[in-house]
Structures are given as structure tokens and as C-alpha cells.
A and B are shown apart, each in its own frame.
Chain A
């Protein structure tokens, strides 16, 4: 389906949906309401969980909060003001949940949301018992089922439109990166926690508004209705059945499942929950990518052609060669100001003083000091386990040092998160490549350009990323998922991602390791060309050949300490270095 047809289908579908109350009787309206309600909740749920893979089990909590906003205030506040109020309360609750748990690994978020609906249900029960004296409220309004139906249709349209916008924005891309590899996303300059919290708050607000819209339908509302655990369950089943990462997924899932559950609930009211659970488990098992995920596979079978595996939610759909924004399309040359020349006596860029980091009893970095000047290539060498990568992780903000200072352009990097350091102009690659296998090469580079802060719009970022990739000899891979690249190209892609931040300082962690000899030559030439352009580089390397050829100066580490410093020739001739690498010699 072309994107124009796609854009046209939705309004038509929504319009048809909106017409149902005119044609149908009460039964159709009730069924339609149920479908719409679940479709909205599932879409909102999928917007966050789909790309990030953070599973929220608290839909009922946000929905119930919205419903109770109406239940408690509808007599005093006009209905029209209650929807934004519900949205606000839902969002505030989500921000609280997010700030508590989204800074750390996903499991805590899931656990926190798992009991949230039950917590709020009990709090509400307690509040009503101790304040109003009775549990439950009557909601008597003149809002009809049709009005609720139309409100939900409008909300669904709004949610879908919002999701469509989100997916096309830089934040959509950021969410995908978070789902694939959060740390790598942070090193691309993405403020992951902020992005997660904001999107969670927006989707939770939608859930709360859904609750507020539906509340009058019940006339009597008590905590068991509003915070019914099935409400947390259904959106997940629906989104999963339809295909979590797909725009149409929740809609496709909602229609058959609501029909099915409606029938099940009527015929087997007692075993309903049980059947629901079994069905859910079967869906998780059998169709992890949902119904829509099956379509490409079916097409492949039919055509029996090696159709390229479509990346699940790539955002850089084939971009027509748009008019290049020349002024804002920096080439690799633009990474550093052209006035800078590779001179080892440039001004100080990075200063490390008395750095120390211990893990339990093991001191990985011990009282380490060095200075890196603008334009130089600075090597850090040493045997395995001497603390090289730890130094890099300390500079790039993965770890906090126990002691010591790291000054970048004279400013301290203490307590700075990886994304802040990336934005400040320090980019890195990883010893073991950290790419997002499902995302295209373009999607790796675009966010770094965007979140690095030197490109304004998504279009500009695409042009920039395309040129950068071409410059690195990866022009033919622009729309290829990174998982399909070979090793050197994955490494090149990581380099492109790092360069897209337009770093003042580039940290390469054994970037040449694992390459075969011919790849190695290409790699060294690449680094040399960067050096020729005046990029300051910190090189962690085992290959002495590369160190000799590339580095202006280097330090040698052993057991966390600096044992030598100087030009590669000086350092490699140093007796202590020889001893560390080759062991004691008899005549030493």
C-alpha cells in the first residue's frame, strides 16, 4: 500500500465508524463502543511498548484514574473541563511512575506497573470509605451512548494521528533506538529517560481521557469496575495480536478480539478469565509479531522471491533525493573547523587528573592522569584487563569516577550522563559493536545528527546522514538493516554514528580489532583521513602497527596505572612496557 492510499484509508474508515450509530441499533452501538474503547487503549499502549519494549501492565490504573476524575468532580466541574483534567492527572501519575522506574532497567518499570492498578484501587476504596463513607459513586449525566461513541471515535482519530506524527519525528526514532540498545542511544545524544517519560505521560493521558469519556456510561462507578485488571490485559492482547510495532496493529487486533471476548463473556461468564489467559499465551507463542507481522511472510511465500526483510518500523522510508540543503549539509570536513591543524601543541581539549575507579576490590583505574591536545591522536595501550576500556567508559559517562577529575574544554564532566557528554562533543564507538540490527544505516546516523544538536530538522538530518555514509563508503547500504552488514561495515556504521554528532573528541575502542588484514588497511586509512582533517582521537588499540602509524602520543596502562607516556617509539622501547608485554627477560 502506498503511503497516499494509507493516508486516505484512515479518514474513510473513521468516517464509516462514525456513521454506525445512525444505522445501527443499541446493540451495535454497545459493541462499537467496546471496540473503540479497546482500540484506543491498545493503540496508546502500543505507542510506548511497541518501539521501546517496555511492558506496562497498568492501563487499568490510568483508565480508572480518568473515570474517577469524572466520578468525583462531574457535579462541580463542567464536563468539557474534565477531559483535560483527566489527561493531566493521568500524565502526572505517569510522570511519577516514569521518574521512579524508567531511569533504571525495564524490569522495575514492569513490576511497578503490575501492581499500580491494585494500589490505586485500594487507595480509592480507602479514600471513599474514610471521606465519603461509601464506596462507589453515581454518575448521572445526560450524555448518551452515541455521544460517547463519537467522542471515542474522535479520540481514536487523534491518537492515531498523534502516533503517526510521533513515528515521523525524531522522538519516534529515539524510541526505537531505546528498544534496541539503550546505552548506544544515549551515546548518540538521546536523552533516553526524558523521551521515555514524555511518551509514557502522553499515552497515559490518552488512557485517562478514555476513562473519562466512558465513565458516564456506567451510571454507577466503584473501584472494582474502574480498575478492573482485565483493562490492563486487553490492550496488551490486542496490540500483540495485531502487531505491536505496526500502525494498524491495534486496530486490526481490536475488532476480532472484542467480538470474540463479547461472545465468550456471554457464553462462559465464569471461565472467561481463564480462556482470556490461555488465548493470550497462545498469541504470545504463535504470532509474536501479530497478524500484520504474518503478512510479509505470506507475501514472501507467494512470490518465492528473496524479498528484503522489511525492517519492522523503519522510519526512513525511501526518501526521494530531496533538494539538498547545501548550507546545512556538512561533510566530514565540517566535523572540525578547517582552521584547526593537526598539531600536537594545540590547546588542551581533555584533561584527566588522578582518575580512580574500583569495582569491588579490583581497582580498574588507579590515579591516572593525562592531557589530550586538540588535533592529536592519542593512544591508550596496555595488556588485557589493564583498564583501558574503563577509562573510556569514565570519559563517556558510563561510570562515575570514584576520585579524580575529567575536564573537557576546561569544564568538569562530573555527574554528567552519557547523553549530555555526547551532546557536549565526545563521541565513541564500542569494543563489541553496538548497532541496532533491525534499523537501517540511515536510521543509525540520523538521530545522532539530530540529537547532537547541530541539525534542526529531520529532513536536514537525512541529507547530512546520507552524505556522511557516502563519504565513509557506505552509500549502497543506506537503506539496509544494519544486521545484514558484514563486520567492517558495522564498524564503519558505528563510526558514522559517532561522527554524526560532529564530535570534538572521538573515542575509538579497539576499532580495528577483529578486522582481517585488508580491512585493517582500509580502517587505518580511514582513521588517518580523520586525523588529517584535524579530528582529535583517543585510540584504544592492541595492534602496535596501528599505534605506530596513527598515534602522535600514547600512554601505556598496566593494572590500572600509567606506566609510560610519550611518542609510540619512546613508549614501546620503554623497559617497563617491554616487561609488561613480554615478561621479565634474563638480561634485564
Chain B
């Protein structure tokens, strides 16, 4: 019973983080229409920086956030305008662009992870921050995890309010629904799609820093994070923030239970299992491809 509760609490903590993880990607994919396969690698980059700042300068990850989030925003803005916009200029049709942009993102993931591999290799990163046990519903949770969860939910809520309550958010949602119609309402699609891509990158970095607070990681793990983010996005529905929250929780709890009661080696299999379920139960709309 106690282990059941432990698994559930761990699952919920991870689930909250996964929801945030997916939120950044769903913004990038749903609005900027870029399937960012380098997402997990950027996440690891933020996590590595947070670790280094903590280890070398005793900088609390909370302070790292202040530095790393704007940095990630700028980097992603540059990537969007210097890489993807340029690609779109060179290709006429979106259809031709789509295949190329996936390949480009795939290349980008090798560039980002390759750069980190060149510097750090496959070494494991971790640091002990706020390793204080806290009693929660009869289960013991380290304070760092709890803080990560709370921050994740706070970031998520902030992003959600930005999308729903502001003029910018309205413009962004308009682009998500109809990128061709949005300019007719006076929305600068290029500009706000870029902003959203960068904002997704900011959330990506935030997730990375939060994960670094309690989990051991290394550079090759980027792929797994990209995949988990994608699966949550698909389960929750592209561009659906509330869907991402629920899907993230489902993924987190499933993973935690599989790891605890079956085998930790099968967590990715569990992720794929959810993926297959999500895809098979999806309505197969034939126009899906044309309309997205």
C-alpha cells in the first residue's frame, strides 16, 4: 500500500513536469508548425548549464532560471529566424517545406547534442539541492521534487494565462487555428510564430532546469525527452494546454507504476504503449493531413 502511494506521488510529480515539457513543444508545433526534434536536446542543455552553475558557482537553480530562460528564448528566436524562416523562403510550398523542416530539426538535434557530447561526453550529471524529506499524504517526497512540481504548475499557469487572457495570446491562438486567416485580422504571423517558438524554448529550458534539480541525466537522454514530449502532445491534442496537463499526468503515473512494479527498464515501452493507444483511438480524419 505504501509503495502504491509512493508510486502515485512520484508519478504525479513527474506528470506535472511532463505536462510542462509538452506545453513548450505543443506551442512550437501547434503555432510555429515546426516539429522540433531537437527539443529534448535543448532541454538537456539547460539542465547541464543549471548543474554547472550550481556546482561551480553555488548558484541556486532558482537563480539560474532567471539567466537561462531569457537566454533560451533568444537562442530559439535566432534558430527560428535564421534556420526555419530561411528554409521556408527557399521552398515554395509548405508540403515541400514540411519534409525538409523535419530533416532540418533532426539535424539540429545532432548539432545540439553533438556539441554537448564534444564537451561533456556521456558523463552523468546530478547535484543535491534541497534534499530534505517532506511528508505528503503518508508518503515521503524530497523537497526538490515538490518544488519542481510547484514551479512547473506555476509556469504552466503563467503560460496558460498568457495565452487566454492577453492580446498576444489571442494572436497566437488565432495563428494556431488558422495561419492563413490570421494575417487578415492584422496579425503578423511570422513575428508571433517566432515569438511562440521562442516562448516554447523558454518553457523547454525551464523544464530542463526543474528536471536537473532532482534527476540524474546525461546528454544522450535528450531523445527520450523529445519523445515523451511528443507523446504527451499527441495524447493531449496538438495545441491543447489542458489536454497536455492530463496527458502529462497519465504518462507520469503510468511510467512510475511500470518502473516500480514491473521493471525500470520498460518505462520507454510504457511510453510507446500510450502512444500506440493514443494513435489507435484517434479519429482518423482524412483531411487531417491537409488541415492539421
Q: Which residues of A contact B (CB under 8 A)?
A: 53, 55, 57, 100-101, 103-108, 110-112, 114-115, 118-119, 122-123, 125-126, 129-130, 182-183, 186, 229, 233, 236, 240, 270-278, 280-281, 284-285, 288, 398, 418
Chain A residues with CB under 8 Å of B113's CB are 273, 277
New A-B pairs, 7, CB < 8 Å, besides A126-B266, A183-B286 = A55-B99, A108-B279, A114-B223, A122-B266, A129-B265, A273-B118, A278-B111
Contacting A276 at CB < 8 Å: which of B114, B263, B290? B114
Give 7 nearest A-B pairs by CB, closest first. A277-B110, A274-B114, A126-B265, A273-B114, A277-B111, A115-B227, A280-B107
| Interfacial residues of chain B within 162-184, with CB under 8 A of chain A in the complex | none
Nearest residue (CB) in A for B115 is A274
Distance between B80 CB and nearest chain A CB, rounded to angstroms: 14
Chain A residues with CB under 8 Å of B223's CB are 114-115, 118, 229
Would you call A126 and B275 a contact (CB within 8 A)?
Answer: no
Q: Please, could you name 29 A-B residue pairs with CB atoms under 8 Å apart, sorted by A?
A: A53-B95, A55-B99, A55-B102, A101-B279, A106-B289, A110-B35, A112-B275, A114-B227, A115-B226, A115-B227, A115-B271, A118-B268, A119-B269, A123-B268, A126-B265, A126-B266, A130-B263, A183-B287, A233-B106, A270-B118, A273-B113, A274-B114, A274-B115, A277-B110, A277-B112, A281-B108, A284-B100, A284-B103, A288-B91
Interface size class of B (residues with CB under 8 A): 35 or more
Nearest residue (CB) in B for A230 is B110
Contacting B100 at CB < 8 Å: which of A115, A122, A288? A288
Nearest residue (CB) in B for A112 is B275
Distance between A103 CB and nearest chain B CB, rounded to angstroms: 6
Distance, CA A57 to CA B268, complexed state (A): 17
| Interfacial residues of chain B within 108-159, with CB under 8 A of chain A in the complex | 108-115, 117-118, 121
Counting CB contacts under 8 A, is B19 at the interface? no
Q: A101-B279, A107-B35, A126-B265 are in contact. Are A118 and B227 (CB under 8 A)?
A: yes
Contacting B289 at CB < 8 Å: which of A182, A284, A285, A288? A182
Chain A residues with CB under 8 Å of B111's CB are 274, 277-278, 281
Distance, CA A100 to CA B234, complexed state (A): 14
Counting CB contacts under 8 A, is B224 at the interface? yes
Chain A residues with CB under 8 Å of B104's CB are 281, 284-285
Distance between B167 CB and nearest chain A CB, rounded to angstroms: 26
Contacting A111 at CB < 8 Å: which of B95, B100, B230, B286? B230
Counting CB contacts under 8 A, is B13 at the interface? no
Query: C-beta contact mask, B59-98 vs A, less than 8 Å → 1, else 0?
Result: 0000000000000000000000001001100110001101
Contacting A115 at CB < 8 Å: which of B112, B224, B285? B224
Chain A residues with CB under 8 Å of B269's CB are 119, 122-123
Would you call B110 and A274 a contact (CB within 8 A)?
Answer: yes
Would you call B288 and A105 a contact (CB within 8 A)?
Answer: yes
Chain B residues with CB under 8 Å of A277's CB are 107-114
Chain B residues with CB under 8 Å of A273's CB are 110, 113-114, 117-118
Query: C-beta contact mask, B209-235 vs A, less than 8 Å → 1, else 0?
Result: 000000000000001101100110010
Chain A residues with CB under 8 Å of B265's CB are 122-123, 125-126, 129-130
Q: Which residues of B contact A (CB under 8 A)?
A: 35, 37, 83, 86-87, 90-91, 95-96, 98-100, 102-104, 106-115, 117-118, 121, 223-224, 226-227, 230-231, 234, 263, 265-266, 268-269, 271-272, 275-276, 279-280, 282, 284-290, 292
Chain A residues with CB under 8 Å of B37's CB are 57, 114
Distance, CA A182 to CA B272, complexed state (A): 27
Q: A115-B223, A271-B118, A273-B114 are in contact. Are A55 and B103 (CB under 8 A)?
A: yes
Central interface residue in B102, B112, B272, B286, by most chain A CB within 10 Å: B286
Chain A residues with CB under 8 Å of B108's CB are 277, 281
Distance between A481 CB and nearest chain B CB, rounded to angstroms: 15
Distance between A435 CB and nearest chain B CB, rounded to angstroms: 13
Would you call B114 and A114 a contact (CB within 8 A)?
Answer: no
Distance, CA A163 to CA B116, complexed state (A): 39
Distance, CA A75 to CA B133, complexed state (A): 52
Chain A residues with CB under 8 Å of B98's CB are 53, 106
Distance between B227 CB and nearest chain A CB, rounded to angstroms: 4
Chain A residues with CB under 8 Å of B285's CB are 104
Distance between A359 CB and nearest chain B CB, rounded to angstroms: 11
Central interface residue in B224, B263, B265, by most chain A CB within 10 Å: B265
Would you call B110 and A119 a contact (CB within 8 A)?
Answer: no
Distance, CA A549 to CA B115, complexed state (A): 70
Nearest residue (CB) in B for A126 is B265
Distance, CA A272 to CA B107, complexed state (A): 13
Distance, CA A270 to CA B219, complexed state (A): 13
Distance between A203 CB and nearest chain B CB, rounded to angstroms: 17
Would you call B286 and A418 a contact (CB within 8 A)?
Answer: yes
Distance, CA A114 to CA B268, complexed state (A): 13
Would you call A274 and B117 a contact (CB within 8 A)?
Answer: yes
Central interface residue in B107, B224, B227, by most chain A CB within 10 Å: B107
Distance, CA A53 to CA B90, complexed state (A): 18
Q: A110-B35, A281-B104 are in contact. Are A119 and B272 (CB under 8 A)?
A: yes
Distance, CA A55 to CA B227, complexed state (A): 16
Distance, CA A108 to CA B279, complexed state (A): 8
Chain A residues with CB under 8 Å of B107's CB are 277-278, 280-281, 284
Nearest residue (CB) in A for B87 is A285
Chain B residues with CB under 8 Å of A280's CB are 103, 106-107, 110
Would you call B280 and A114 a contact (CB within 8 A)?
Answer: no
Would you call B284 and A115 a contact (CB within 8 A)?
Answer: no
Distance, CA A276 to CA B35, complexed state (A): 20
Q: A115-B224, A122-B269, A277-B108 are in contact. Are A272 and B103 (CB under 8 A)?
A: no
Chain B residues with CB under 8 Å of A125's CB are 265
Q: A104-B284, A183-B287 are in contact. Are A114 and B226 (CB under 8 A)?
A: yes
Distance, CA A240 to CA B106, complexed state (A): 13
Would you call A398 and B99 a contact (CB within 8 A)?
Answer: no
Nearest residue (CB) in A for B282 is A104
Nearest residue (CB) in A for B263 is A126
Would you call B114 and A108 a contact (CB within 8 A)?
Answer: no
Nearest residue (CB) in B for A232 is B106
Chain B residues with CB under 8 Å of A129's CB are 265
Distance, CA A167 to CA B234, complexed state (A): 34
Distance, CA A357 to CA B49, complexed state (A): 54
Distance between A430 CB and nearest chain B CB, rounded to angstroms: 11
